[in-house]
């Protein structure tokens, strides 16, 4: 066994469900199997080709099933195989893909199925996040209530005009119209409609928030030999990292958390990226509330501090701009919470495989998938490329 360096990791299969508000026609097992079967079909592999399964989702209280990987082992063809269950809050879809990727990179397994899901219609996410805990501060009125003050802090700090958030939402919802798997297909969307939507948590309006979706996303990751057999062009992992910081402490910068900066820097170092704005062709960014696009543009090093909103305003992040952000429509159009991070990672891979269909960014060679979770405290990112690393 070689001890020199990691095994290169290739993404050779990607599958998603059509994300919708409620999939009353399938069980949780049926939902995840649909995405996994599509990923296998994309890779032209069978269940027997899979050596291990790595599954992720957000809190078990969202569906009311404790450690659902136990019940899902049969549906995911995992019987007799290793099965790991990752949970890192909202970043979990990204973390899950990274754990799967490490299994291949470490040469522990050759071909791994990784999958993330959420079937929010089985329960109530607001309730799932709101169980009272003695002696701890409540999360306030859902996630929007937690994040709104940080958006306001960003606006105050950078002087961004209050029109920027609606531009992001208008862009992402239009991009979603080109993505057949996206949840929200608002054919009559206009910028005026976004701006006229009700204010939920000032300054976040209804149309600037993510929907609540049922959905699953799966990927097949494999080694060099597996990639050589792949019928379609693989995407290659050029870098991946996770970083965490505490929820609350006096020195925390909620507008641009240090963990996000460090995570991106680690990924760029691994991938040999020195100028992300110029060297990365597309970004699938975790933007559950519209204002997080300009905020993360700065946090990820695509713009200088205070300058992110200018890229958004100038149309740089549009599908035909020179740094398209969320060509798939993003979390603002599709949010099966536990799967949302993996969808970002998978959509980045689709871009560099040239398989993104109508929302394909022309000639995308390197793309970034980004996820965050908790109180903007857990980060998971990967950078994928069309070329095998080092080639």
Partner 1 sequence: MARYAREVAVVAFAQSDHLRRTDELSEVEMVMPVLHQVLAATGLKAGEIGFTCSGSSDYLAGRAFSFTMTLDGVGAWPPISESHVEMDGAWALYEAWVKIQTGEADTALVYSYGKSSPGSVRDVLTRQLDPYYVAPLWPDSVALAALQAQALIDAGETDEAGLAAIGARSRASAGANPHAQLSGAVAQGEYQVAPLRTGDCPPIGDGAAAVILAAGDVARRLCERPAWITGIDHRIEAHSLGLRDLTDSPSTRIAAEHAGVFEAPVDTAELHAPFSSQEVVLRKALGLAGDVAVNPSGGALAANPMMAAGLIRIGEAAARIHRGESDRAVAHATSGPCLQQNLVAVLEGDRA
Q: How far is the CB of 387 from partner 1 (least distance, A)?
A: 21
DSSP structural state of residue 359? G
Nearer to partner 1, 21 or 70 (CB): 70
Question: Which of 166, 179, 207, 244 forms a contact with partner 1 (CB under 8 A)?
Answer: 244
- State which of residues 113, 227, 241, 371 lies at the interface with partner 1 (CB under 8 A): 241
Q: Does 173 participate in binding partner 1 (rule CB under 8 A)?
A: no
Q: How far is the CB of 7 from partner 1 (least distance, A)?
A: 9
Based on the shown chain and the rule CB under 8 A, indicate whether residue 70 belongs to the binding site for partner 1: yes
Q: Which span sits near partner 1 by CB under 8 A: 183-191, 214-222, 251-259, 280-288?
A: 251-259
Q: Which stretch binds partner 1 (CB under 8 A): 87-95, 213-221, 230-238, 284-292?
A: 87-95
Subset of 104-123 contacting partner 1 (CB under 8 A): 105-108, 122
In 245-365, beta strands by DSSP E = 282-284
By CB under 8 A, residue 83 contacts partner 1: yes
Q: Distance between CA atoms of 314 and 38, rounded to whole angstroms?
A: 38
Which residue stretch of 14-22, 93-101, 186-194, 289-297 sits at the interface with partner 1 (rule: CB under 8 A)?
A: 93-101
Q: Which is nearer to partner 1, 170 or 379 (CB)?
A: 379
What does the DSSP 8-state code read for residue 273? -
d(CA 195, CA 183): 21
Q: Where in 286-305 is the site for partner 1 (CB under 8 A)?
A: none
Residues in 190-229 at the binding interface with partner 1, rule: CB under 8 A:
none
With binding defined as CB under 8 A, does residue 25 bind partner 1? no
Q: How far is Cα 11 from Cα 230, in angstroms, rounded to an integer?
A: 9
**Burial class of 57 by CB neighbour count within 10 A (0 to 12, 13 to 18, 19+):** buried
Q: Which helix (H) or strand (E) holds 367?
A: strand 366-373
What residues from 336 to 375 belong to the interface with partner 1 (CB under 8 A)? Answer: 374-375
Measured in residues, the chain has a length of 391
28 lines the binding site for partner 1 (CB under 8 A): yes
Residue 160 binds partner 1, judged by CB under 8 A: no
SS3 377: coil
Judged by CB under 8 A, how many residues of this single chain contact partner 1? 71
Instruction: Provide the minimum distance between the beta carbon of 77 and partner 1 in the complex, in angstroms, as a whole number.
Output: 11
Give the tokens for residue 6.
């990691």
The interface region with partner 1, picked from 31-39, 75-83, 175-183, 205-213 by CB under 8 A, is 75-83
The whole-angstrom separation of Cα 208 and Cα 286 is 13
User: CB 96 → partner 1: shortest distance, Å?
Assistant: 9
Q: Is 78 an interacting residue with respect to partner 1 (CB under 8 A)?
A: yes
Q: Which two tokens stand for residue 203?
A: 């300054």
Is residue 48 involved in binding partner 1 (CB under 8 A)?
no
118 phi, psi to nearest 5 deg: -150, 135
| Cβ–Cβ < 8 Å for 203, 291 | yes
| Cβ neighbours for 120, distance < 8 A, ≥ 6 positions apart | 62, 212, 213, 214, 336, 337
Instruction: Look at residue 378 and give its three-state secondary structure.
Output: strand
| Stretch binding partner 1 (CB under 8 A), from 192-200, 255-263, 285-293, 354-362 | 255-263
Write down the least CB distance from residue 46 to partner 1, Å.
19
Q: How many CB atoms lie within 10 A of CB 56?
A: 31
Q: Does 50 sit near partner 1 (CB under 8 A)?
A: no
Stretch that binds partner 1, among 10-18, 33-41, 127-135, 149-157 (CB under 8 A): 127-135
CB of 252 to partner 1, least distance (A): 9
Asked, as a colleague might, if the bond just before 154 is cis with ω within 30 of 0, I would say no
Q: Which of 24, 48, 80, 187 binds partner 1 (CB under 8 A)?
A: 80
The alpha carbons of the chain give a radius of gyration, in whole angstroms, of 19
Phi-psi region of 300 (alpha: psi -120 to 50; beta: other; left: phi over 0): alpha
């Amino acid at each position: 066994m070689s001890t020199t360096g990691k095994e290169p990791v290739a993404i050779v299969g990607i599958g998603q469900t059509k994300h919708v508000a409620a999939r009353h026609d399938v069980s949780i097992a049926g939902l995840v199997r649909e995405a996994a079967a599509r990923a296998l079909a994309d890779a032209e592999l069978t269940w027997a080709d899979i050596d291990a399964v790595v599954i992720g989702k957000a809190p078990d209280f969202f569906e009311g099933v404790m450690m659902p990987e136990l019940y899902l082992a049969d549906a995911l063809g995992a019987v007799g195989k290793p099965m790991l269950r990752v949970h890192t809050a909202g970043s979990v879809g990204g973390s899950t893909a990274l754990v799967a990727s490490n299994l291949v990179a470490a040469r522990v397994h050759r071909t791994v199925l990784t999958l993330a899901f959420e079937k929010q219609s089985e329960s109530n996410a607001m309730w799932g996040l709101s169980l009272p805990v003695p002696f701890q501060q409540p999360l306030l009125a859902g996630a929007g209530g937690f994040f709104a003050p940080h958006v306001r802090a960003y606006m105050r700090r950078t002087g961004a005009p209050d029109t920027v958030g609606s531009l992001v939402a208008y862009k992402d919802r239009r991009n979603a119209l080109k993505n057949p798997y996206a949840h929200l297909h608002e054919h009559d969307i206009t910028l005026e409609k976004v701006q006229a939507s009700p204010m939920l948590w000032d300054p976040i309006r209804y149309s600037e928030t993510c929907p609540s979706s049922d959905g699953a996303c799966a990927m097949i990751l494999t080694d060099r030999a597996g990639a050589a057999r792949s019928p379609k062009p693989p995407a290659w992992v050029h870098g991946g990292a996770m970083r965490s910081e505490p929820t609350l402490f006096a020195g925390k910068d909620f507008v641009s958390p240090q963990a996000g900066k460090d995570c991106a820097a680690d990924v760029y170092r691994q991938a040999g990226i020195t100028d992300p704005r110029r060297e990365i062709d597309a970004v699938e960014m975790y933007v559950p509330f519209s204002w997080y696009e300009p905020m993360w543009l700065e946090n990820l090093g695509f713009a200088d501090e205070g300058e992110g909103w200018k890229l958004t305003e100038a149309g740089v992040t549009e599908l035909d701009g020179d740094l398209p952000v969320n060509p798939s429509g993003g979390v603002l159009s599709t949010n099966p919470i536990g799967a949302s991070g993996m969808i970002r990672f998978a959509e980045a891979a689709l871009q560099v495989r040239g398989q993104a269909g109508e929302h394909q960014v022309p000639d995308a060679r390197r793309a970034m998938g980004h996820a965050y979770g908790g109180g903007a405290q857990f980060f998971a990112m990967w950078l994928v490329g069309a070329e095998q690393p080092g080639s």
